[in-house]
Amino acid sequence: MRIMGLDFGSKTVGVAISDPLLITAQGITTIQRKGENKLRRTLAQIEALIEEYEVSEIVLGNPRHMNADEGERSKLSAEFKDMLERRTGLPVTLWDERLTTVAAEKILIEANVRREHRKEYVDKIAAVLILQSYLDYRGMRDSASGAQEPER
């Protein structure tokens, strides 16, 4: 069982996958979208990755405003969530992604990635940050509730 993290944008979708123990997130790809309203190919690529990595759950970034209001991008993410659930049959959790792109940019700057190359990686790194935040939350929630760790 793995969890997939998605950073859904108008031109790209960053994709990250958890390890089987649900501890860490790794970026795997950035899907280039053909257009704002053209999602069939994007959904097909996500489905192929779900099958390849045996994904059982999806975490989708929810780009809320800093005051927690939902804007146009947040509404589009909610619509994409519904499409993903219908198409894949998997549960999809909307997860607050405020400042993940800023944090991803900062990581790339600190790693001395040239400005012209940052666009190639920023969405995948943002997806990693979204998924890692969710995994950390799950880990804290499970340990607070006294959930047993699976045998290894």
Is 92 in contact with 58 (CB distance < 8 Å)? yes
Specify the pLDDT at position 102.
67
pTM confidence score = 0.80
Q: What is the mean pLDDT of residues 57-76?
A: 78
Is 8 in contact with 80 (CB distance < 8 Å)? yes
Specify the pLDDT at position 59.
97
Q: What is the pLDDT of residues 112-150, one digit of tens each?
A: 777 776 677 778 888 999 999 899 888 777 777 765 554
Specify the pLDDT at position 36.
66
Specify the pLDDT at position 79.
92
pLDDT at residue 151 is higher than 50: no
Q: What is the mean pLDDT of residues 78-96?
A: 94
Q: How far is CA 118 from CA 55, 90, 127, 140, in A?
A: 28, 31, 14, 32
Specify the pLDDT at position 49.
97
Place of tokens 């900062």: 106
Specify the pLDDT at position 109.
74
Domains of the chain: 2-144 (3.30.420.140)
43 vs 142, which has greater pLDDT? 43
pLDDT at residue 107 is higher than 90: no
Handedness of CA 60, 66, 69, 70 (dihedral sign): negative
